[in-house]
Amino acid sequence: MDDDVTIQDGGAGQERVSRRGFLGMAASVTAAATAAVLPEAASAAVVAVATGEGRDVLDVAIIGAGLAGLTAARDLRRAGCESFVVLEARDRVGGRTLNHDLGKGYFSEAGGQWIGPGQTAVADLARELGVGTFPTYYQGKSTILAKGARAAVDTEGGFGTDPKIAHELELLARSVPSGAPWKSPRAAEFDGMSVGDWLAKKNIEPADQVGWSAGLAITGGASPARLSLLHWLSMVNSAECNYDRLEAVKGGAQETRISGGSQILSIKMAEALGDKVRLSSPVLRIEQWQNGPVAIHTAKGVIRARHVIMALSPALCQQIAYDPPLPELRREMQRRWPAFAPGRKTAHVYKKPFWREKGLNGWIFQPGGAVLWAYDNSPEDLSFGVINAFVQISMLPSDKKAAEAQLSRTYAQAFGEEALHPLAYHEQDWRKADPWTLSCVSPMPPGFLTKYGEALHPPIGRLIWSGSETADIWAGYMDGAVRSGHKAALQALRAVATGRA
């Protein structure tokens, strides 16, 4: 029955369109013609009519073709469920993972890209899909640039965070469950202050303050004063209360890269799902979500489904209209969700990673400058040399050519004159690229999780909440996205089974 989807066009009656037609590859056909061409679909319709439900109602609709939504779809199919569709707003899959094509089959990531110890869900997915992994390069000296001064030091694959303070955070994190920090016995206390408030009591030296600000911006998406201590501890808890495992490359969440670029995971899953995945179909409105069948209004027509997996961040859930409105706590949670950490990431492509021959690892820290952190993102076989960077959006020209030139000069100061002439430059300013991301990670401000956290997980009516933000472990990471997809598929399958019983 999934072969046909009914599109309601404005209210001017119903028109049957073949699945391929819906994808723009064939003309629409009448119900009779569909039945003649697709006898299986016709017999499915008879069954559906016999059970009293329209043949156009799917068991599950998944909104979002990122790692979460595609993992959920893959699980549904593995469980024998074929009555589903994946709706994606963009004209591509992968969500917050995106490959820049460097040519010759090589890629550099514009978005999420790493796997670390304990991130077993995404690591297993890569293995199942036959996607290889390889270590992130950190061997050699890191470069620090500050107001014209330059130094090169071996940072040993980490960011040099004060181990004494890191250990204090590790101990506190033990009482903060990663998936539900608001359930910590000390939740009120920890959510009542920012990481900055907590650090301020530790007499951090001025130069250390610069380091903490940069570190929290890269990993947490906000300055220390704006990041809830409870939230930060929940992230440390995700990393099994090991600070390096959260923050570092060596032994940390940035340790391992994905052959073919991280988006390959989503691309491979989507390929296997074929035309179950509908691109360029942003969901505008969701009706009858309490008891179903849910009517999902997209830019390309209406999809009807008994259950919906919302595989997107709460901030993106907020961009959809609901009729009737969602319950107050969920609505307020979505409205206030801290989607204010947009990312801008760049890639300089060179003929080879020439910095390695100089004993440098390609890393740059630039306190007071545009580069938060630059790092070596060369392909495994070194067919190119690639320097990726997280940059301060404001401090780099928005003009691509000018941005490339400014960064090239910075890289030349760090690595030598060869850096002035990249073969190519790529960048992604995620807030401006399209309206379907909004934010990289979600920098929870103090007070948010204890007030609204309870609304994050529980399904409401026929809506099952997924997406990395809902993960029990590694929320906000690729691993969390995969975990949330598995969980949502189980919830949906159970709901489908209960409905049939």
Region 105-144 residues binding another protein, contact defined as CB under 8 A: 141-142, 144
DSSP 446: T
| CA–CA separation, 466 and 489 (whole Å) | 9
Q: Which is nearer to another protein, 81 or 315 (CB)?
A: 315
Q: Which of 117, 118, 342, 459 binds another protein (CB under 8 A)?
A: 342
**Identity of the residue, 11 or 325, whose beta carbon is nearer to another protein in the bound complex:** 325
Nearer to another protein, 99 or 439 (CB): 439
Angle at CA of residue 174, ends 117 and 341, nearest 5° = 65
- 272 makes contact with another protein (CB under 8 A): no
In whole angstroms, the minimum distance from the beta carbon of 216 to another protein comes to 9
- Residues 308, 64: Cα–Cα separation, whole Å: 11
Closest contact distance (angstroms) between CB of 413 and another protein is 12
CA distance 79 to 493: 8
206's CB contacts (< 8 A; 6+ apart) are none
Indicate which single residue of 156, 189, 323, 357 sits in contact with another protein (rule: CB under 8 A): 156
Rule CB under 8 A: is residue 358 a binding residue for another protein? no
Q: Which is nearer to another protein, 263 or 334 (CB)?
A: 334
CA angle at 165 for the pair 252 and 362, rounded to the nearest 5°: 40
Residue with the two structure tokens 């990289």: 440
Q: How far is the CB of 148 from another protein (least distance, A)?
A: 7
Per-residue mark of binding to another protein, 170-209 (x: CB under 8 A): ------------------------xxxx-xx---xxxxxx
Question: The tokens of 335 are what?
Answer: 């409205």
430 binds another protein (CB under 8 A): no
Q: How far is the CB of 335 from another protein (least distance, A)?
A: 7
Show contacts with another protein in window 372-401 (CB under 8 A). Answer: 392-399
124 conformational bin, left if phi > 0, alpha if psi -120 to 50, beta if neither: alpha
> Cβ(320)–Cβ(311) under 8 Å?
no
Looking at 31, 38, 131, 146, which residue binds another protein (CB under 8 A)? 146
Q: Which is nearer to another protein, 196 or 476 (CB)?
A: 196
Helix (H) or strand (E) holding 135: strand 133-135
- Spatial distance between the Cα atoms of 208 and 206, rounded to a whole number of angstroms: 5
- Which range in 10-18, 67-75, 216-224, 234-242 contacts another protein by CB under 8 A? 216-224
Least separation in angstroms between residue 66's CB and another protein is: 17
- Backbone φ and ψ for 80, nearest 5 degrees, come out as 95, 0
